Structure 1
């Protein structure tokens, strides 16, 4: 199940994944929100609260995850991956030098820290965006 998280700045895509995540739900909720933010901003911040394992994403949901990630590859600014699965956090930490912006893994206990970090202003040295598109 996927649900958007509230109380984030408008340039942040924030969602929680729990249980089984299927492609239809991922498209209707996450991909739609990413595209909405991309229409307004040149850069996108993302926080994912994983209360499920990546193994609970259906194959098509994982493919959609990759699709939306590559569609906006130059626009990622800050990505916070919040999970108690150490391998997930380590994977995303290792990914950080390979993509624009910053990627950082956090534990579920550090969710508030992750939310504050992803809500910070854009990384102007790593991304061209300072304000919404006109």
Structure 2
């Protein structure tokens, strides 16, 4: 059985599921809700609560769900899955790696946490240029939308300096929320890897290995890594000749 969840922000849909979900319920409740919301919003968010007695989808419902997802592959901004069922969490985490939007999991005791996550801002990227130095600061968990928003600004900054010095600040970076965000991050590295004359990466411990891989892509630049406590040293190094 599917029940709609009320009192959600505009552009956010909520479904509570128990027992086995039939194709008739998908066609009567879920599909019209999604189609209508996408007429009003470019992208939507979804809260899905799977109760302890949830048994999965019937074959017809699974087909409808797959068809809906393929038709609106880029129509979702993020998805919160609330459940205590281990098999659902495992399947959902595997599927999340393939989706172009972030998926976050919550226990049934934390429905409010799921609501907050859907409504709060995610990560961001700050860009700043001072002379030849371009500072790129990654903050929080990044989703594909972040990279889409900064694409033009980043291209504009790099167009102003022939061989920029780049300071990449990862001290507040928590990772990527979706495979699409990681793909766009790698695409940016590919597009700009030949531009910097110097590159400094400032990161905390868990990101040191990622920082080394980032530096490896910039084979034509003078590169250096710094710990999170050495920002001033990184700034001095990036500015010196």
Structure index of larger Rg? 2
Cα distance in 2 for partners of 1:40, 1:94 equals 30
Question: Which residue matches 1:69?
Answer: 69
TM-score by length of 2: 0.48
> 1:127: Cα distance to partner?
6.9
**Higher strand share goes to which structure?**
2
Give, in whole Å, the separation in 2 of the partners of 1:126 and 1:77.
14
Aligned to 1:41: 41
For 1:126 and 1:63, locate their aligned partners in 2 and report how far apart those are by CA, in whole Å. Answer: 32
Instruction: Return the offset for 1:22.
Output: 0.8
Greater displacement, 37-46 / 111-120: 111-120
Q: Deviations over 1:34-60 (max 9, x none)?
A: 11111111111011101143x442111
The equivalent of 1:26 in structure 2 is 26
Q: Normalising by structure 1, what TM-score?
A: 0.83
**Partner of residue 80, structure 1:** 80
Distance 1:94 1:20, change over 3 A: closer
SS at match of 1:90: helix
Deviations 1:13-45 (A, max 9, x none): 111111231111111101110111111111110
After superposition, the CA RMSD in angstroms is: 2.0
**3-state SS of 1:74 partner:** coil
For this pair of structures, how many residues does the alignment match? 127
1:95 counterpart residue number? 95
Q: In structure 1, how many angstroms separate the alpha carbons of the residues matched to 2:72 and 2:9?
A: 19
> Structure 1 pair 121/24, CA: closer, same or farther in 2 (3 Å)?
farther
Q: What is the CA–CA distance in structure 1 between the aligned matches of 2:25 and 2:17, rounded to whole Å?
A: 11
Q: Which runs of 5+ in 2 are unaligned?
A: 123-142, 150-241
